[in-house]
A = this chain, B = another copy of it.
Amino acid sequence: MSNPPKSATHKRARRVKLADVATAAGVHYSTVSRVLRPGFKGRISDDVAERVRAVARELGYQPNAVASSLRTQSTRSIGLIVHDMNDPIYPPILSGIESVLSPDGYAVLVGNTGYGADAELDLVNRMAARLVDGIFLATTRLKDPAVERCVQLGIPLVSVLRQTESGTTPAVMNDCFRGMEALTSHIIDAGHRDIAAIIAPQDLSTAQERWQGVQSAMRKHGLDLPEHRIARVSRMSTEEGERATKSLLDAATEPPGVIICVNDLVAIGAIRACRLSGLDVPWDISISGYNDIPLMDMINPPLSTVHMHLDKIGKAAGEMMLEYLANPELPARTQRFKPEVILRGSLQGVHPQG
């Protein structure tokens, strides 16, 4: 009955499978499968179904998802590709996605690219090998081989936060252009004229749209941004923000009146750099961010920024994925969430709300 105690070898307990339930219930294993499949309405008598269910429960049967996947060609798992989970914009996205997909039995596979373009493609390939049912790509660049690869492989793809140049990918995003344009307008309206900007690589739609938003607002107000008031970061991190800010401050004898940062992390770095240079924020220099990641109201000074509704974006992305999974023929749709300007103490001259 019990296997001989092979030393302390507590080997992986043999799982109960369909056949075990079947023999115990005295039916064929295909019958067990039909009974246990969700959405079973087939031609099985009630008493057999009940008996099978009872036996299955008693034996603690749990279907082997791998075998099921092999047969059905669906793993009920989806991938999420991000730059780095340590960037605070991603956890709410993950949570949102998970909260929508998990009730439907989907599992989420997370992959960090570490900001590497080849890592991105590699992750898509590895996820494809795992037969994920779909992929959320949060690292989408304007021209992105990873997107093309998904299309080529026929894997449903939902781009999160960002969009490709062609705009032909299903996507859920924030309207970064309007957000940054509105924020910049507020800054100008507050009287700022000597404006600097820290911008990010323009191969990401977020970075591009925000930069265009800044430019648009300034143009509308007849202002210009000289080259020495522009700094570039290689990625949106505090370290890069700090470095870029130093270079901005070094590029001219007088510091700018305000630095518009491509996102909050960069803004944090900017605040650090300013402080190290002996500049007080906001008395000597103003700073703004983008995203409104957690705690931006608690830092010193509280950061003016643009709220993204990341949780809503995550949920919406999850729902959009479900739609495309149900109907892959659906035309690509881009859903944009309205950004919300948040004015706080880091900007001299504006009137902080609530």
Which residues of A (224-282) have their CB < 8 Å from a CB of B?
Answer: 268, 271-272
Task: Given A9-B329, A295-B299, check contact A65 B129 (CB 8 Å).
Answer: yes
Residue of B nearest to A76 (CB): B130
Which residues of A (127-174) have their CB < 8 Å from a CB of B?
Answer: 127-131, 152-155
Q: Which residues of B contact A129 (CB under 8 A)?
A: 62-65
A349 at the interface (CB under 8 A from B): no
Which one of A36-44, A80-88, A181-189, A213-221 is at the interface?
A80-88
Q: Which residues of B contact A126 (CB under 8 A)?
A: 105, 107
Chain A 42-86, CB within 8 Å of chain B: the 1/0 string?
000000000000000000001111110110000101000000111
CA distance A12 to B150 in the complex (A): 10
Q: Is the CB of B86 within 8 A of A98?
A: no
Count copies of this chain in the complex. 2
Question: A229 → chain B, closest Cβ, in Å?
Answer: 25
Q: Is the CB of B75 within 8 A of A85?
A: no
Query: Out of B85, B94, B95, B98, which one reaches A95, CB within 8 Å?
Result: B85
Residue of B nearest to A310 (CB): B86
Q: Which residues of B contact A329 (CB under 8 A)?
A: 8-9
Residue of B nearest to A107 (CB): B109
Q: Is the CB of A84 within 8 A of B75?
A: no
- 20 new A-B contacts, CB < 8 A, other than A12-B328, A62-B128, A66-B130, are A8-B329, A12-B154, A13-B152, A64-B131, A65-B129, A66-B70, A66-B131, A67-B70, A70-B70, A77-B109, A85-B91, A85-B94, A86-B294, A88-B88, A88-B91, A98-B110, A98-B112, A102-B112, A105-B126, A108-B111
In order of increasing CB-CB distance, the 5 nearest A-B pairs are: A300-B300, A12-B154, A85-B91, A298-B299, A65-B130
Which residues of A pack against B, CB within 8 Å? 8-13, 62-67, 69-70, 75, 77, 84-86, 88, 90-92, 94-95, 98-99, 102, 105, 107-112, 125-131, 152-155, 268, 271-272, 294-295, 298-301, 328-329
